[in-house]
């Protein structure tokens, strides 16, 4: 039975929440089998899959294709899909594009910031995961947000507004650990941190960073649990060597 937004809400204060980004069928099957409760079809696919330097290059068509692929694989995990840059500029556009993502298999959507837009999506009966702190779609400079008092107050206010809007959870990206702790204590929905410290209700990482598949910039908050890029390179070298030496295919690999 699939995990629901209510299940995620109930995890606050009782069970730390693990979330990973996911972009394709095969990876989704592995993550679902591993028991990851939340799979985020993130617009980070623009960086790690499509090779762009910013997430703002990702389109609705990109998100629909990858969300559908992930949704076809899962049996238990809840699939959340990012609303890409430019897809939720108005109430009508936000609702229409959110519904499109639900139609291909997402259980919820995630816009960046904009509590007023999140409220309208929730009013339409669509589950929403909020996102505050660093907002990669619109940020002119990547880095920690909320270090000064005014910005921290704004993020706290937006967090409260997103809970009131009806969001079932909230991603906090690149905020000081103390601010992450204060927001987590101030709101009744789970916070899921990425570079937001140890006191959030859950943690999320970009899977290609966590698995050592992406060789680009690695933020301070990333922990690598594998080095698959090196393993893949070694496997490819071995395949090339065996083909060139006539070792592969062997008799056991030939059709009879």
Q: Which residues are catalytic?
A: 173
Quote the tokens at residue 14. Answer: 């009782």
Quote the tokens at residue 5. Answer: 């937004």
Instruction: Name the DSSP letter for residue 250.
Output: -
- Alpha helices, H only, 104-256: 115-123, 149-165, 177-186, 207-210, 228-245
Quote the tokens at residue 207. Answer: 């899977």
Question: In residues, how long is the chain?
Answer: 256
Q: How far apart are CA 147 and CA 226, in angstroms?
A: 32
Q: How far apart are CA 53 and CA 160, in angstroms?
A: 32
Give, for 27, the enclosing helix (H) or strand (E): helix 25-33
The alpha carbon of 2 is separated from its chain's Cα centroid by a whole number of angstroms, namely 18
Contacts of 238 (CB under 8 A, 6+ apart): none
Neighbours of 6 (CB within 10 A): 9
- Alpha helices, H only, 40-142: 45-48, 60-73, 91-103, 115-123
Q: How far apart are CA 191 and CA 209, in angstroms?
A: 21
């Amino acid at each position: 039975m699939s995990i629901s937004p209510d299940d995620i809400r109930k995890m606050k204060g009782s069970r730390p929440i693990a979330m990973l980004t996911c972009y394709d069928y095969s990876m989704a099957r592995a993550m679902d089998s591993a028991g990851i409760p939340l799979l985020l079809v993130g617009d980070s696919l623009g960086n790690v899959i499509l090779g762009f330097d910013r997430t703002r290059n990702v389109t609705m068509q990109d998100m629909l294709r990858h969300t559908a692929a992930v949704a076809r694989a899962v049996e238990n995990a809840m699939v959340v899909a990012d609303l890409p840059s430019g897809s939720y500029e108005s109430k009508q556009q936000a609702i229409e594009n959110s519904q499109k993502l639900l139609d291909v298999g997402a259980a919820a959507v995630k816009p960046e910031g904009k509590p007023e837009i999140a409220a309208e999506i929730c009013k339409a009966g669509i589950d929403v995961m909020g996102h505050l702190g660093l907002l990669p779609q619109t940020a002119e400079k990547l880095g920690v947000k909320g270090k000064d008092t005014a910005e921290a107050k704004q993020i706290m206010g937006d967090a409260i507004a997103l809970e009131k809007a009806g969001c079932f959870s909230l991603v906090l990206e690149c905020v000081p650990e103390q601010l992450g702790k204060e927001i987590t204590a101030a709101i009744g929905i789970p916070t899921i941190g990425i570079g937001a410290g140890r006191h959030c209700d859950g943690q999320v990482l970009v899977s290609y960073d966590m698995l050592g598949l992406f060789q680009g910039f690695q933020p301070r908050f990333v922990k690598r649990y594998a080095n698959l890029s090196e393993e893949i390179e070694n496997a490819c070298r071995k395949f090339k060597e065996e083909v060139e030496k006539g070792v592969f295919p062997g008799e056991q690999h030939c059709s009879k």
